[in-house]
Amino acid sequence: MGRGRPSTIIGCKKEYARQYMKKYWQNKDNVKRNNALASRKKANEKYKEKIPAGIYGIFYDCKLVYIGESEKPLYRSGFHFSKRTNLKQAKIASPISYALSVGDLQRDKLRFKMLEYVDDKQSRLDRELALQQRYNPIYN
């Protein structure tokens, strides 16, 4: 009778060890995944920082629909391409964002392209205004 007990306890310890190791490896995989996401995010931030200030255009089906200027244009593109559930916020945020929220535009058909690189703020505003008057985009 005494012989059955130790094997049962050992069996329980083995099962506990298996469960522990399973959780350990799952956690390790999650940590690796989180580290990979963090490094990708950091690389993306560095890429966005590399693009200099300038004037950008947003195209819908190869037609220019918006012209804007920004010191950090790729950050601004994310601002335009975000679909918002609150239409009041979308209207305030950007006309492109509002059109996406309402359903007038489809995100997969939108393209972001740098038109000119201009460092000086006042020159950038002047060039933006000149391009808006020249091309007369729908959402400006």
User: What CATH number is given to the structural domain containing 109?
Assistant: 3.40.1440.10
Q: What is the pLDDT of residue 70?
A: 93
Check whether residue 45 and residue 68 sit in a common domain.
no
| Domain residue limits at 77 | 52-135
Q: What is the pLDDT of residue 55?
A: 96
Check whether residue 89 and residue 62 sit in a common domain.
yes
Question: What's the CA gap between 113 and 102, in Å, rounded?
Answer: 23
Tens-place pLDDT, residues 38-55: 788 888 788 777 889 999
Q: Is the pLDDT of residue 114 over 90?
A: yes
Check whether residue 46 and residue 58 sit in a common domain.
no
Check whether residue 95 and residue 107 sit in a common domain.
yes
Q: What is the pLDDT of residue 1?
A: 47
Check whether residue 107 and residue 130 sit in a common domain.
yes
pTM over 0.85: no
Q: What is the pLDDT of residue 9?
A: 52
Percent of the chain with pLDDT over 90: 41
Check whether residue 62 and residue 123 sit in a common domain.
yes
Q: Is residue 140 part of a domain?
A: no
Q: What is the pLDDT of residue 10?
A: 55
Check whether residue 81 and residue 118 sit in a common domain.
yes
Tens-place pLDDT, residues 84-106: 778 888 788 889 989 998 889 99
Check whether residue 125 and residue 100 sit in a common domain.
yes
Question: What's the CA gap between 91 and 113, in Å, rounded?
Answer: 23
* Residue among 45, 127, 33, 36 at smallest CA distance from 78: 45
Check whether residue 130 and residue 66 sit in a common domain.
yes
